[in-house]
Every structure is written in C-alpha cells, then in structure tokens.
Structure 1
Amino acid sequence: MLRTEKGLSRKELADAVGVNFQTIGYLERGDYNASLELAFKLAEYFDVPIDMAFSPRPFKTLAEELAAAKRAAE
C-alpha cells in the first residue's frame, strides 16, 4: 500500500532502496521476508515506523479493517 499510495512502480522503489524489482513483488505477495537491513531501508524511505510496514502477523485486509471500524462505531 505504501508504494501504490506514492504512485511508485516496483522498479522505482527497488532502485531507491537498492534491490531487484522482483524482490519488491515477492515482498508484496508475502513470498519473501525482508532482511532487517532492507526492512529498515524501506521504513526509512517511506518515513514510517518499521512495524507500520512489516509485522510478524499478516495485516488485515481493507475489508476487515472497514468492518471492524463499523462494528466499533455501532
């Protein structure tokens, strides 16, 4: 989500953090776990805390987040 919000291609992001563009795709699909060094580079690039970009638990989908927000508002 961070990459698409900024309108970056996988290649642009990969070039910015010094990895192959395929690595970005693997990360986004959950097929690859970033090294600690890469995780810090990406968090720094997007200026977010590392746990906002990476988590040991799967992130909730947008639909799950919206449903939880709706339940909390009721």
Structure 2
Amino acid sequence: MQGAFNMSLFDLFDSDNENIEELKIDDKVYVEYQGESYIGTVHSIYNNKETVNVIFDNMHTAFHISKVKKV
C-alpha cells in the first residue's frame, strides 16, 4: 500500500508568487485556511502590501501575501 501525501495548489505554483504586485481589491484569489481550500475575494491590502484581507465562505480573514494566489 502506498503512503498518502498532502498537496495543495500552492505546491503547483512558483514559490516566488509572481502575481503579488497584481493583486487588487475585488480580485478572486485562492487561499487555504485550517486545512481547507477556498476561492475568495480580496477585501483590502495593507501593511506595506504584505497583508491581504480575504472574504470567503462567509469568513473574513487576513493572510500574508505569500499565502494568497490570484485566480
């Protein structure tokens, strides 16, 4: 029997996240929260463009820019 492994969509993206500068309010983004994957909407960007507030699945949560991928 083969061992199981976890893989997220972030594993498929380049680690330097080339789309960071392109994020804008209302963009659709991919995020992972508590082990689940979501598509959400950028609500605000702050902290020297290092923190992104994303609304998804009736939640409003802040993420470091490296943990958000534009869809």
Range of TM-score over shorter length:
under 0.3
Q: Larger C-alpha radius of gyration, 1 or 2? A: 1
TM-score (norm. length: structure 2): 0.25
Structure 1 or 2: more helix by fraction = 1
